[in-house]
Each structure stands twice: as structure tokens, then as C-alpha cells.
Amino acid sequence: MGPDVLDLSRFQFASTSIFHFFFVSLTVGLAFLIAVMETIAFVRKDRAHIYGNMTNFFGHLFLINFAVGVVTGIVQEFQFGMNWSQYSKFVGNIFGVPLALEVLMAFFLESTFIALWWFGKDRLRPALRLASIWLVAIGTQISAFWIVLANGWMHHPVGYEVVGDQAFLTSFSQVVFNYKAWLYFLHVQGSAWSVAAFLVLGISAYHLLRKQDVEVFSRSLRIGLVFAVIGSVFSATSGHRAAQVARYDQPMKFAAMEAQWETSTSPAPWSAVAIINEKEQRNTFNVEIPYLGSLLAYNRLTGNYEGLIPLQERYERELGPGNYIPPVTWVYWNFRIMVGIGMLMLLAAFGGAFLWWRRRDRLNDTRWYLRALLFTIPLPWIANFCGWITTEMGRQPFMVYGLLTTVEGVSANSYGEVLVGLIGLWIVYLALIGLDIYLLAVTARAGIHHKPEAQMSAAPAPNYAGEGFQGYERRN
Amino acid sequence: MDLVTLWFWLIALTFTLYFFLEGFDFGVDILRPFLAKNEAEERALVGTIGPFWDGNEVWAIAAAGVMFSTFPVWYGTLFSGLYPVFVIILLSLLMRGVSFEYRNQVDQQRWRSFWDWMSFLGSLVPSFFWGLTMAKLIEGLPINADERVLGGFAEVFTPFSVVGGLATTLLFMLHGANFLLLRLHKDTELYNRARAAALFWGALATVAILAFVFMGYVTEGLFNSFGVVPWLFPVAAALTLGSIWYGLTRRRDVLAFLMSSLTIVFSTVTIFIALYTRQVVLPSTLNPEYSLGLRESASQPYTLVLMTWVGAIFLPLIIGYQVWNYYIFRERVRPDEGGLNKGYD
């Protein structure tokens, strides 16, 4: 049997969300870094030239990426009605609210003030320009908050009651203060900062290795390091906590992350590598580290957790017959890749911080570290990708955990129209992601132009300073 | 006015604002190949909408988001029922949205003309299909008793919906030309071409709109449920449409733009009045009893109260800073050397 409308719709949703998040995670993080850079340019007028160049350079990268983030966001917003109309009707009362809030509080703010910031270089006072980029940065965080809150509600529904064939909102404050959603938000936020920080680090390292614009890139390297430390610590700690709470609010997901078929012993070991046979519901090969399972699940050396098979029996008793076990292999491996990469990120960030502390001004000359940074650029993106696969696949077969299955949520579209739409979207997505990476790479490698006529000018003309960073310098 | 009614009209407001705002930036993009003779003019035309198009586009997302939260059944049925239409709109908007950003990133004529094509098609195609969607709102979809829409892509095209799409596209072109008259320097060649375009496309738009109204009256019974007061809106739309011609020939650019804006506003409102007077948000072509009722499609009161607070706080704020954005970039554009930044004076 080939794929049906449900499979295609799931694939459509997954691809849209992953492509969208590829661009958006950079937007969310980079907006914040650029706002900080511009703030330093504003405050340290003696160094306005350096930080102004930095802001414009990374601002150009931001804009290339921002456009794609916005347009893929439209698909993200429309696809609920298009592919998941039964879901939309069921939860619109609740789920629609954070989405509407995202648009009204964030999208307008971002799209309006990004134009004011970039086009308004020569017509806004410096304080207003600075305010504009901060509003963009805040807008991106608000946007991330509401969409992740909506997603968190699907994982841990609160503040609702089901009346007839619709879920009704009973307490909006419960939805807003949903602990699960906040953990996800912190996690997503930390990973978005990491994406941007490692991009800034990698690009700075690239130019430092070539001794180009050392005064700019040595400083952007340090700003990148600060954010890399904050971002990777944030995502690691909130991620650890999010995995722990899954043990009691999404036990199936937790058991799948550990490929734990039977209920574990106490103290529980932690599986490092396993070969999983989902048909026979067992692991044919498993390397286990004693005590670590309990330590990760409870932050202490004792405690066990339920396995997939007993959970399946319990769900069948409570919710009726059906298969409640998510795709274990996918969840297990994506979780491990994500955690592994997260460790590498922590290492790279703290390693850099250590070098900075020990060697002070010679960080710029630590060539082995700079070279290593070039390879860290894609790491946070891969970790993000694996993280989304883990959490979304771990939720299956539910769309809203315990409440609505994915099968029940799908639209009654015809196979042909969904397939054609999916192919169309994929062609455009692949083109956009290719172009985005290509243009980011070209722009990043070109570095800071010192002759304005030598630069390509974008629709929002990147007017990087040959003559300096206009707005701030004029005041000196 | 109760909350369901209020939110029905707020959805009408977001769609109206979307068509009014993005109408002119779509229009400018559709007219670009007809108006620009060289790279400098091309850039000047992009520059007229450069700082605005993105904020305008968000009104479409707002319309969808607000519909999702306040009328989930309407949102789900319309968006899944017109699946192929929304796929086409989305693909077009995807390519258009990046075209502005990407066209000048590589200094090659072929690269630039590719993105110019993308923004042309990315404006033409959604203009047509948004118009078609509005016509479909009146005409209805084959909804069955389970609120599911039957039928394929071919059935989306009826004479009424196609004329609706054409009328919208032409009206946007007229609106875009009028917008250019406010944004371009008056002593430029480009400005004169924009005026000629407004007169030419405006004439075609008038014919298409009248055809749409006539067909709506005859085949869809568009105004059957209208009372005396609702009738004022289509009449006002006709009057404002007529006075664009007056504004253009008397060289009163502000008047012409104001009137094309009002034509869009009155036309969109007319469509929503047609729904409201029947208390239906989406008619069923299979059986009138399967039509989505206004009240039955709405969210429960708690959600509506919440959204009312949100709307009361944020809608004025958004409109406020968007107006400020237009004020900051109020100078007229001139196709000079050096592209956008030097295009202003």
C-alpha cells in the first residue's frame, strides 16, 4: 500500500515546519545579536565605525534569510485549514488564539520595523533606528513564544473541555502558563540563539583566519561566543527538563526516546547505542550505561520508568484499541543525535570562552580553534531538525496528546490535489533553501566592502560603510 | 452588536485592509513590465513599494489567523475546500516574497529578470485567485452534510468566479497605477506612463467589475437579500469607481487613489454584506441546509471575548505604526542612478 492522504498531509506538515524553522531559527537568534551589536554601536560612539560595519554586515545576512522566513510562515499559518481542517474545527477555539496573537503581536511588528530599520537608515534618528531593530528582535521572540505555546498545547493540552465535537477554552491563563510550553519555548529560544551564534562565530573565524577586518570580526567573535554559551546552556538545561517531564506527561515518547520496551529496573541504565526491532518489540543489541538512566530521568541514582509494552496495554484499557507506540527507531536516534550535537556545541562554546579567558588578545590567532568553528556552523541546525523529529514523532499517533489522533485531524482532500501541492511546495522549498544558503555563503565570504561601488546592492540597498556608519558618526 | 457579529465584521475588515493595501503593491508589480524601460526605472518602481509590501502582506495572514480563532469551521472548510487555490496562492507568494530581496543580490541581467518575472507572476496569480476566492464565498462550495467539500479543481472555475478574479486583478492594476501617481516624481517620464496605464487598465477594470456585479445579480442573486441600507454600498462602489476617471483626467492624483481605495473597500464590504444578510458564511451548492451558518461556525463566547480584548489593543496599534511607516517613506521616488537609496530626494 502506497502513501495515502494522511501520509502526504503529515509529510507536507513536517516539511513545511522543518523548512520554515530552518530559516526562522536563524532569524530569531540573529535579530537579537544584531540588536546587541547596534546597541554597542549606539553607546560606544568612539567605536561606532566598527560596530556599525558589523551591524550592516550581519544585517545584510539577516535580511536575505528574513524574507524566506516570512513567506514560509504564510504556508505554516494556512496549512492548518488546508490539510488539517478537522483538527482546525476541533481546536480552533483554543489553538487559533495563540496563532492570531502571533500575527497581531509579532508579524506586523517585525515586517513593519524591519523596513523602517533597513530602508530608514538615512531618515530615522539613531535612537529610533535602534528602537526599530529592538522591536524586530522582540517581535521575533514573541512570535516564537506564541507558536511554541500553541505547539506545547498540542503536546500537553490544558485549560479546555470537550463539548460535542469541539474543544472549548476554559482558562486562557492555564494555556499561557502551560509548563510544557514554557520548557519548549526556552529550548527553542536557546537553540535559535545557538544557530545564530555559531553562524556569527563561523563567519568571524573565516575572516579572522584570512586576517580580514580583524577589528570588526574579532569583536563579533566575542559577541558570538557570549551568545553561544548562553544559547547552548539554555537549550541543554531546558531540553533536559523537557525530556524529564515527558516521563510523566508523555510516557510513550519518553520510553521511545530510550527504546525501553519493558518497564525498566531501578536504578535504570541508559542506552547509548541500540539496534531496535520494532516488529518484535525488542532491542537486538543494546549498549547500556548503568545508573545514567535514573540520573537523567530523576537527577538521582534511583527510579525506574514504564516501558512501551506496558504503556500500550494501559492506553488500550483507557482509550480503546489501537497502536499507541510511536516510531521508536526514529525517536530514539534523532534524540541521540540531537543530544550528541548539543554536547559538541557546549564544548565549542565553553572551549572558546576558556581560550578567551586564558589567552585574551591571542584568541584571534588560535588557528586550530578558528578552523574548528567553521565546522560548527551547521551543528545547531542539525540538532534542531533532530529535535523536532523527536518531539513530533514521539507524539504519534496523537495530534493533540490523548485527545485527538492525527487520523481524525486530517482534511478530506483528494489524493491528487495534496500530492500535486506537495510536489509544488517541495520544488519551491528546495529552490529557496538552496538560494538562501548560496546567497548567505556568497555574502558572508565577500565580507565587509570598503568601496561602496564594489558591492552588489540589494532591493533594500546594503549601504555598508565605505564612508562609515552614517547615523551614529554624524553625531560625533 | 453581539460578539459573533463583531468578529464577522472584523474579519471583513482584515480582508478589506488586505485588498486595499496589498492591492496597490500587487498592482505596481503587475504593471512593472509594462512601465519600466530600463534598470533605473525598474528599481524606482520596486522602491515605491519596497518598505511597505511586507507589512501589507501580513494582513492576509492576519485574516487567516483571526478566522481560525473566531470562526474555526469557516476557516477549516474554506481553506481545505479551496485547497488547490490556496496552494497556488502560497506558491506565488513564496516566490514573490523573496524576489524583492534576491533580485539585486547577484549582478547579472538574467538573474534580475528571473526575479522580475517571479514578482510579476507572484502578484498577478494571487490577485486573480484572491478575487476568485471572494467570488466563491458568494457562490458557495459543494459542501455536504459533514461540512466536507466535494468536487475537484476544475469546478473552482465558473464564469462568475473567473470574472471575479479578472475584475480583482484589473482593479488592483488600476489601484497600483494610482498609487504610483502618489509615489513617483511628477517630472519623470515614468509618472506620465503610470497615468496612461491608470486610464487604460482602469477602463478595462470598470468593464470587468460591472460584468461581475451584473453576473452576481443575475446568476447568484447577489443583492436579493439586501435591504435599502446595504444597497448603498454597491452603489457607492459604482460611484467611487466612476470618479476615479474624473480624478485621473483632472490630474487630481490623491482623489484618484482615494477613490480606487474606496472602490476596493465598498466592493469587499458588499461581498460580506451578501453573506451577513443571509446569516451564512459559506453557502453550499449542494443543499442550502448544508451551508455554514454564521453563528454555528463561530467560536464560543469565551474565545471571542478574549479575542475582542486582543483586537481592541493591537489593531489600533498596528494601524498606528503602519501609518507611521508610510509617513516616514512619504517622499516621491525618482529613477536616478544608484538604485533605491538615492532614488528619494
Quick: pLDDT tens for A7-39. Answer: 888 888 888 888 888 899 999 999 999 999 999
CB-nearest partner of A458 from B80, B83, B105? B105
ipTM of the complex: 0.89
**Mean pLDDT on A365-379:** 91
Q: Does A83 touch chain B (CB under 8 A)?
A: yes
Amino acid A225 reads L
Q: What is the per-residue pLDDT for A459? A: 40
Residue A450 — very low, low, confident or very high, per pLDDT cuts 50/70/90? low
Least confident of A178-192, A341-355, A437-451, B70-84: A437-451
CA–CA distance, A88 with A94 (Å, rounded to integer): 10
Contact B329 A122 (CB under 8 A): no
Residue A275 — very low, low, confident or very high, per pLDDT cuts 50/70/90? confident
Contact A82 B149 (CB under 8 A): no
CA–CA distance, A242 with A390 (Å, rounded to integer): 12
Closest C-alpha among A93, A399, A170 to residue B73: A93
CA–CA distance, B130 with A78 (Å, rounded to integer): 14
CB-nearest partner of A93 from B62, B299, B340? B299
Residue A2 — very low, low, confident or very high, per pLDDT cuts 50/70/90? low
pLDDT at A349 over 90: yes
Residue A250 — very low, low, confident or very high, per pLDDT cuts 50/70/90? confident
Contact A74 B93 (CB under 8 A): yes
CA–CA distance, B95 with B29 (Å, rounded to integer): 13
Residues of chain A with C-beta less than 8 angstroms from the C-beta of B147: 89
CA–chain centroid gap for B218, Å, is: 24
Q: What is the per-residue pLDDT for A463? A: 31
The alpha-carbon gap from A211 to the nearest alpha carbon of chain B, in Å, equals 25
Residue A321 — very low, low, confident or very high, per pLDDT cuts 50/70/90? confident
CB-nearest partner of B83 from A82, A86, A101? A82
Q: Identify the burial level of A103 via C-beta atoms within 10 angstroms of its C-beta, where 0-12 means exposed, 13-18 middle and 19 or more buried.
A: buried
Strand intervals (E) in A391-436: 398-400, 404-405
A:7-66 residues touching chain B, CB 8 A cutoff:
63-64, 66
**Are B67 and A421 in contact, with CB atoms under 8 Å apart?**
no
Q: Which residues pair with A405 in a beta bridge?
A: A398
Residue B290 — very low, low, confident or very high, per pLDDT cuts 50/70/90? confident
Q: What is the per-residue pLDDT for B280? A: 86
Closest C-alpha among A459, A63, A455, A123 to residue B344: A123
**Mean pLDDT on A334-348:** 93
Radius of gyration of chain B (CA): 20
Residues of chain B with C-beta less than 8 angstroms from the C-beta of A457: 104, 339-341
Higher pLDDT, A222 or A292: A222
Q: What is the residue whose three cell numbers read 547505542?
A: A273
CA–CA distance, A193 with A146 (Å, rounded to integer): 17
Q: What is the per-residue pLDDT for A475? A: 34
pTM over 0.80: yes
Q: What is the per-residue pLDDT for A456? A: 39
CA–CA distance, A47 with A438 (Å, rounded to integer): 31
pLDDT at B254 over 60: yes
Mutate to test the interface with A, among B22, B75, B156 (most CBs of A within 10 A): B75
**Mean pLDDT on A210-215:** 87
pLDDT at A142 over 90: yes
CB-nearest partner of B80 from A107, A166, A413? A413
Residues B118-127 have pLDDT tens digits of: 999 999 999 9
Higher pLDDT, B225 or A261: A261
Amino acid A358 reads R
Residue-averaged pLDDT of chain A: 86
Contact A112 B148 (CB under 8 A): no
Whole-number percent of chain A with pLDDT over 90: 34
Residue A399 — very low, low, confident or very high, per pLDDT cuts 50/70/90? confident
Contacts of residue B5, defined as CB under 8 A and 6 or more positions apart, other chains included, come to B276, B294
Least confident of A340-349, A452-461, B29-38, B172-181: A452-461
CA–CA distance, B106 with A458 (Å, rounded to integer): 9
Q: What is the per-residue pLDDT for B284? A: 84
**Are A202 and A377 in contact, with CB atoms under 8 Å apart?**
yes
Radius of gyration of chain A (CA): 24
Amino acid A185 reads F
* Cell triple for A404: 485527538
* Cell triple for A247: 516521563
**Mean pLDDT on A352-363:** 84
Mutate to test the interface with B, among A88, A123, A147 (most CBs of B within 10 A): A88
The alpha-carbon gap from A69 to the nearest alpha carbon of chain B, in Å, equals 9
Q: What is the per-residue pLDDT for B336? A: 65
Residues A32-65 have pLDDT tens digits of: 999 999 999 888 888 888 888 888 889 888 988 8
Helices A48-83 and A415-446: crossing angle in degrees, nearest 10, is 180
Q: Name the strand (E) or helix (H) holding B73.
A: helix B72-81
Measure the CA angle with vertex B122, ends B120 and B123; round to 5°: 70
pLDDT at A122 over 80: no
State the CB neighbour count (10 A cutoff) for residue A381. Answer: 19
Residues of chain B with C-beta less than 8 angstroms from the C-beta of A82: 79-80, 83, 86-87
CA–CA distance, B268 with A407 (Å, rounded to integer): 37
Contact A457 B104 (CB under 8 A): yes
Helices B253-278 and B109-139: crossing angle in degrees, nearest 10, is 40
Three-class secondary structure of residue A60 per DSSP = helix
Q: What is the per-residue pLDDT for A50? A: 86
Whole-number percent of chain A with pLDDT over 70: 94
**Are A200 and A55 in contact, with CB atoms under 8 Å apart?**
no
Contacts of residue B324, defined as CB under 8 A and 6 or more positions apart, other chains included, come to none
pLDDT at B128 over 90: yes
Three-class secondary structure of residue B333 per DSSP = strand
Contact A113 B80 (CB under 8 A): no
Residue A145 — very low, low, confident or very high, per pLDDT cuts 50/70/90? very high
CA–CA distance, B310 with A331 (Å, rounded to integer): 38
State the CB neighbour count (10 A cutoff) for residue A393. Answer: 20
Q: What is the per-residue pLDDT for B235? A: 81
Q: What is the per-residue pLDDT for B178? A: 93
CA–chain centroid gap for A111, Å, is: 20
Per DSSP, A261 falls in state -
pLDDT at A263 over 60: yes
